[in-house]
Amino acid sequence: MARYQTGLQSTNSSLSADYFKGLNHLLNEEPDKAIDIFIKLIEVDSETVETHLALGVLFRRRGEVERAIRIHQNLIRRTTLHPQQRNLALFELGQDYRHAGLLDRAEQLFQELSASHTHRVLALRQLLEIYQQEQDWEKAIRTAQQLAEVNNEAQHTVIAQYYCELAENSLRQEQYKAAQQTITKALKTDPNCVRASLIEAQLAFQLANYKQALVAFQRVEQQDTDYLTEVIEPLQACYQQLGQPDELTRYLRHILERYGSITPMLVLAKLLKQQQGEQQAVDFIVKQMHKRPSLRGLDYLLDLALEKPDSITHEHLLLLKDMTTQLLKNKPVYKCRRCGFTARKLHWQCPSCKQWNTLKPIQGIDGE
């Protein structure tokens, strides 16, 4: 509006008067009257297009989407509008429709713009957001592939997540062959996709292919060590099904010595208790707690101590046990590395910032 105001001296007096009259209505919170005047100005001078585009964006940001739609629709109806200005108006109208929940209309406009040179990348990104919102993963994959070709922007991580969504849909419908094919595509697209490995292992375990499940679970160590804690319990189930407890112990010790996580330490402690007795488990945990203090480790140690009712420190241990239980009860387990969102459940797409693969297990004394 400020840029347009500098050119008022070259326009006729009636345009200048109408323009300021419209601004006056806007300032007096009479937007409908202001819109009527600004729409009339468009028919007088096409140089006001930028003003109307700015006004439409302003209304949309204020939540007055219907008014924004009205402005942008009137712009598009102008046959004398420059093609670049028309594309910009179409793009803004598409965003209006998105904010209004009219996703089918928004999709049509962005598809039209994806064929243009000036707004292709922006339109493809908007389409990607729509398809994610609609959970139309097939279209999302095609759009992300187009975006990668046009903008030379890496999309393999996101595309692999879309394949994983399709694979989980197939698993829910017990379409195991389709699920495996989609998992293969995910790993081909992004070899470091942890989620694809977990789904593959889950499918193999479900079909009693325990060796194949082990291979998929153990692949996570090469993909992203931050997610190793997700495979400990299912790995334990695989080794139990195969009757290989010693192999499980060796693998857990390898993980513990190399990465120092709490989950393998707790599983090892429970195995030691079963195989060698309670005292061996206690000694093991105490030794590990000196190396790496942990609330979860302390909580399990208190569990072992409380199993001895004749202990002279039973009352004190009971109090400490209550404290650690409460501390751990509502403690988030995962945290987004991008925006800081925390959760007790693993989300592959952050509910807050919508980024993929950013929620990781929390590290430290109250985490891993």
More confident residue, 37 or 253: 253
Distance between CA atoms of 219 and 213, rounded to whole angstroms?
Answer: 10
- Segment 280-302 shows an average pLDDT of 80
Residue 25 has what pLDDT? Answer: 67
pLDDT (tens digit, 9 = 90+) per residue, 318-335?
A: 756 776 777 777 788 899
DSSP H or E stretch at residue 281: helix 278-291
- Segment 118-133 shows an average pLDDT of 92
More confident residue, 49 or 190: 190
More confident residue, 17 or 270: 270
Distance between CA atoms of 340 and 187, rounded to whole angstroms?
Answer: 28
- Segment 356-368 shows an average pLDDT of 84
What is the overall mean pLDDT for the chain? 84
Q: How confident is the model at residue 315 (pLDDT cuts 50, 70, 90)?
A: low
Above 80 in pLDDT, residue 18? Answer: no
Residue 358 has what pLDDT? Answer: 93
Residue 38 has what pLDDT? Answer: 66
Distance between CA atoms of 126 and 93, rounded to whole angstroms?
Answer: 12
pLDDT (tens digit, 9 = 90+) per residue, 156-181?
A: 999 999 999 999 999 999 999 999 99
Backbone angles phi, psi at 114, to 5 degrees: -65, -15
Distance between CA atoms of 343 and 361, rounded to whole angstroms?
Answer: 10
> Between 1.10.10.10, 3.40.50.2300, 3.40.190.170, 1.25.40.10, what CATH number should domain 154-243 receive?
1.25.40.10
Residue 317 has what pLDDT? Answer: 67
Above 70 in pLDDT, residue 316? Answer: no
Distance between CA atoms of 357 and 41, rounded to whole angstroms?
Answer: 49
Own/partner long-range contacts of 233-238 (Cβ < 8 Å, ≥24 apart): 233/263, 233/267, 234/201, 234/202, 234/205, 236/267, 237/205, 238/205, 238/210, 238/213, 238/214
What token pair was written down for 69? 């739609």
pLDDT (tens digit, 9 = 90+) per residue, 67-99?
A: 888 888 888 888 777 888 888 889 989 999 999
Distance between CA atoms of 358 and 194, rounded to whole angstroms?
Answer: 12
What token pair was written down for 82? 């420059």
Q: CB 301: neighbour CB atoms within 10 A?
A: 22
Domain 331-368 in CATH 1.10.3470? no
* DSSP-assigned letter for residue 362: P
**Domains 2-151 and 331-368 in one fold:** no
Distance between CA atoms of 79 and 310, rounded to whole angstroms?
Answer: 91
Give the domain ranges of the chain: 2-151, 154-243, 258-329, 331-368
Q: What share of the chain is helix, strand, coil (3-state, %, to 5)?
A: 75, 5, 25
- Segment 26-46 shows an average pLDDT of 64
Above 90 in pLDDT, residue 283? Answer: no
Comparing 229-238, 259-268, 359-368, the range with the smallest average pLDDT is 359-368
Residue 43 has what pLDDT? Answer: 55
Above 50 in pLDDT, residue 11? Answer: no
User: Could you give the percent of the chain with pLDDT greater than 70?
Assistant: 84
CB 93 within 8 Å of CB 76: yes
DSSP H or E stretch at residue 102: none
Class of domain 2-151: mainly alpha
Comparing 154-168, 196-210, 284-298, the range with the smallest average pLDDT is 284-298
- Segment 224-253 shows an average pLDDT of 92
User: Mind giving me the DSSP string for 116-177?
Assistant: SSSSHHHHHHHHHHHHHHHT-HHHHHHHHHHHHHHH----HHHHHHHHHHHHHHHHHTT-HH
- Segment 150-160 shows an average pLDDT of 90
Q: CB 3: neighbour CB atoms within 10 A?
A: 10
Q: How confident is the model at residue 239 (pLDDT cuts 50, 70, 90)?
A: very high
Backbone angles phi, psi at 49, to 5 degrees: -60, -45
Above 80 in pLDDT, residue 271? Answer: yes
What global pTM score does this model have?
Answer: 0.77
